[in-house]
């Protein structure tokens, strides 16, 4: 069974500098029906105007993944890390015992569009940590690429939870299949374009959850980009 979370049903935070859409409860948006899925706690789709962003703020005991779709995002944190996250890169920040950070649009002229994802770690009190890698889409066109995993395998960033996060870019008409163990759960997020997921159409911003489905079949209706979370 597939449960769809449509883009226009998500919560929203709308400010002069920010348009943020919340798949799950976040900040002032609270819906007890949408508090997360397995260990996946937050998927926020954020658009930030040029030169603006999130000032320094703190987190604890959360695995935070940032995935840029358009533009570039400047990051600074209390571990001393300063970086720019660009399209085709993935960032993982483990908040652990406590970390302060800021995220700003790196451009003074172009907007930035990105996903921020929170995953509940398998233990608390970890040391704060940061990791950023390029996603090898060029050699994996039309195929799923592992971007985050518990053991950091296959060049993915490491998350402290039993989860595999996959990303794929599809050209219209391309199809792909993934196998899911029957004791696992999956959440698919359409980042751009449109695909069908086991026959259900997902447009940009739509998400879909499923459990006890062994075969996950995707077909691009339009050129697009997807994330898939394989969760314990």
Report the range of poorest mean pLDDT among 39-48, 135-144, 178-187: 135-144
pLDDT on residue 205: 98
3-state secondary structure of 49: coil
Rounded to a whole number of angstroms, the CA Rg of the chain reads 17
Rounded CA-CA distance 27/128 in Å is 22
Element housing 51 (H / E): none
Contacts of residue 7, Cβ cutoff 8 Å, sequence gap at least 6: 21, 203, 204, 205, 206
Encode pLDDT of 60-97 as tens digits: 999 999 999 999 999 999 999 999 999 999 999 999 99
pLDDT on residue 177: 94
DSSP annotation of 174 reads -
pLDDT on residue 174: 96
Encode pLDDT of 155-177 as tens digits: 999 999 999 999 999 999 999 99
Q: What are phi and psi of 153, to 5 degrees?
A: -75, 160
pTM of the full structure: 0.97
Residue 43's pLDDT band, with cuts at 50, 70 and 90, is very high
């Amino acid at each position: 069974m597939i449960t769809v979370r449509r883009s226009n049903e998500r919560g929203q935070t709308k400010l002069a500098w920010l348009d943020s859409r919340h798949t799950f409860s976040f900040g002032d948006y609270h819906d007890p029906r949408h508090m997360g899925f397995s260990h996946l706690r937050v998927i926020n789709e954020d658009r930030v105007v040029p030169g603006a962003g999130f000032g320094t703020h703190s987190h604890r005991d959360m695995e935070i993944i940032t995935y840029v779709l358009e533009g570039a995002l400047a990051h600074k944190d209390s571990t001393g890390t300063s970086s720019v996250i660009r399209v085709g890169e993935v960032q993982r920040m483990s908040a652990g015992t406590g970390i302060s950070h800021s995220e700003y649009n790196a451009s003074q002229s172009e907007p930035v569009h990105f996903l921020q994802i929170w995953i509940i770690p398998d233990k608390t009190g970890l040391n704060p940590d940061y990791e950023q890698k390029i996603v090898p889409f060029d050699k994996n066109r039309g195929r799923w690429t592992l971007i985050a995993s518990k053991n950091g395998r296959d060049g993915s960033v490491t998350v402290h939870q039993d989860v595999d996060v996959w990303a794929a870019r599809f050209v219209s008409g391309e199809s792909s299949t993934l196998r899911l163990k029957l004791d696992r759960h999956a959440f698919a997020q359409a980042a751009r374009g449109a695909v069908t997921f086991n026959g259900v159409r997902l447009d940009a911003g739509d998400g879909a959850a499923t459990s006890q489905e062994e075969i996950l079949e995707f077909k691009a209706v339009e050129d697009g980009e997807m994330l898939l979370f394989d969760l314990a």
